[in-house]
């Protein structure tokens, strides 16, 4: 099946710094990728839809200046959490959508801890 990787799997950063999370589709091209945030024992909350070559579409309530998304190629999307604060600590999951089937394949997630 299609594989999506995320890097890093875990990151700890200090408050006020920025951290970048990469999402790659390894064996297929993805014009569209999705970024989710998940709190413990809760569902996945869609943050934004990342489109290759164009600006990301953010869900209501998600600060676009805080969560910068870049989708520069058909296999790579990045999420940068800028000026991170402890309340940004969470589990972030990306998903890439296959072009032909529209199926979404999920990365293994990134646990962000802001101290």
Partner 1 sequence: AQTVTQSQPEMSVQEAETVTLSCTYDTSESDYYLFWYKQPPSRQMILVIRQEAYKQQNATENRFSVNFQKAAKSFSLKISDSQLGDAAMYFCAYRPSARQLTFGSGTQLTVLP
The residues binding partner 1 (CB under 8 A) are 34, 38, 41-44, 46, 49, 91, 93, 95, 97, 102, 104, 106, 108-109
Rounded CA separation 55/57 (Å): 7
Give the residue with the Cβ less far from partner 1, 36 or 114. Answer: 36
CB of 86 to partner 1, least distance (A): 20
Helix residue spans in 1-115 (DSSP H): none
CB of 28 to partner 1, least distance (A): 15
Rounded CA separation 33/66 (Å): 18
Tokens of 91: 């589990």
Give the residue with the Cβ less far from partner 1, 5 or 82. Answer: 5
Give the residue with the Cβ less far from partner 1, 16 or 108. Answer: 108
CB of 34 to partner 1, least distance (A): 6
Q: Which H or E run includes 1? A: none
Give the residue with the Cβ less far from partner 1, 61 or 102. Answer: 102
HSE at residue 62, side-chain half, CA atoms within 13 A, is 19
Chain-centre distance for alpha carbon 103:
17
């Amino acid at each position: 099946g299609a594989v999506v990787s995320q890097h890093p799997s875990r990151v700890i950063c200090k408050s006020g710094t920025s951290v970048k999370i990469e999402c790659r589709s390894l064996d297929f091209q993805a014009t569209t990728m999705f970024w989710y945030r998940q709190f413990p024992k809760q569902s996945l909350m869609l943050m934004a839809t990342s489109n290759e070559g164009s600006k990301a579409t953010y869900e209501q309530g998600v600060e676009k200046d805080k969560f910068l998304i870049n989708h520069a190629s058909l296999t790579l999307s990045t999420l940068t959490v800028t000026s991170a604060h402890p309340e940004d600590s969470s589990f972030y999951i990306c998903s890439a959508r296959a072009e032909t089937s529209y199926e979404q394949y999920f990365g293994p997630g990134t646990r962000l801890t802001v101290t």
